[in-house]
Amino acid sequence: MKKLQKAFAGYDLPQQTMRAGIYPYFRAIESDQDTVVTINSRRVLMFGSNSYLGLTNHPRIKEAAKRAIDKYGTGCAGSRFLNGTLDIHVQLEERIAEMTGKDQALCYSTGFQVNLGVVSTLTGRHDYILLDELDHASIIEGSRLSFSRVLKYAHNDMQSLENRLRQCEPGSLKLIVTDGIFSMEGDIVRLPEMVELAEKYDASIMVDDAHSTGVLGRQGRGTASHFGLTDSVDLIMGTFSKSLASLGGYIASDKETINYLKHNSRSLIFSASMTPASVASVLEAIDIMMSEPERMVHLWEITNYALKGFRQMGFDTGKSETPIIPLFIRDNIKTLTLTQQLLADGIFVNPVVSPAVPKNDSLIRYSLMATHTREQVDISIEKITKTARMLGITNTMSDEIVCDENQ
């Protein structure tokens, strides 16, 4: 055995959980992504998807993808920088710029690549990147590739951020990078206070709207729109793999910044471009999002209904105020066990355990789509409550689920 293989031969944590019957990853879905999916030939209620608007199975989007394949083929066989730019890439970037209220936009092949390529490119050796301690992993990886000094501040704590800003050299470039909606906790960045600090300390702000597009703002335009602060946010990032039912990502900003990224961002220049079907799917999804506001309305109605239901049952949902609802279990084994037992009982949720979060912050990530019904939410809360009680996860639950149709 070579040294490389020897280095990993002792890594058997996944195998330990498999032997215990609580391994929760790479669960194969045999159907389309909807509120009900098929796993092992069984129908399961899906509460682990990021398809917040419920568009992944929309017939208009599927037809748009098919038309794009018929016209352009299945791939572009090159990067945007060279031979991989289609006219529909340009159309999509113009649409994103209009949607976000920025001069220009630039599309990447994945959302991860956006953060990797943007955060690593914009600042230099004598500059600073300031990160929320709970920012997405792609932001963290992008900061590691930069030559800048990286300063983390306490989660959504503006006093902590100000303390970090005070540590920066006055003449340096300072880039604050934050999630709009935090992907595990479900809370929203305190953007108005952040903008005040950025103005006070001459810093720039980049907001990751991966989980905010389609959820926050006018017609789903995102966090800056939600707060009426579009002009105060320098860069807006988003993905196409969640509310917009496809694959890829974007960065939107002023024309000078986009021009620089187009010619210096390595994850753009050295990656194949978005496929024609992916691009066409996003264009159609944006049209649906803009023309069907009732989807967002229902998403928020079902979100508030579920949040109230879980809290009435005694669950700790942290500071969540969005369709991402964390159910804090605070024990790795119990979190994995609950996840597996729920799947056996027809409920799909996602476990989040250490080292992704501190051990005492392990949780079930329960997420909602605009296509979920109250009946489906009621079923899930009842089953999660029953299974959690059996595992001794909480002793503050009510004896029966509360369902008020007037809420």
Catalytic residue positions? 183, 211, 242
Distances (CA, A) of 13 to 119, 229, 323: 32, 45, 31
List 327's β-bridge partners, or say none.
364
Q: How large is the angle between the packed helices 111-119 and 137-145, nearest 10 degrees?
A: 30
The DSSP bridge partners found for residue 91 are: none
Place of tokens 């024990």: 331
Please state, in angstroms and rounded to a whole number, the distance separating the CA atoms of residues 212 and 22: 31
Helix (H) or strand (E) holding 351: strand 350-352
> Please, what is the Cα angle at 235 between 326 and 107, to 5 degrees?
90
Residue 208 CB partners (closer than 8 Å, separation 6+): 115, 135, 136, 139, 177, 178, 179, 180, 237, 238
Peptide bond into 24 cis (omega under 30): no
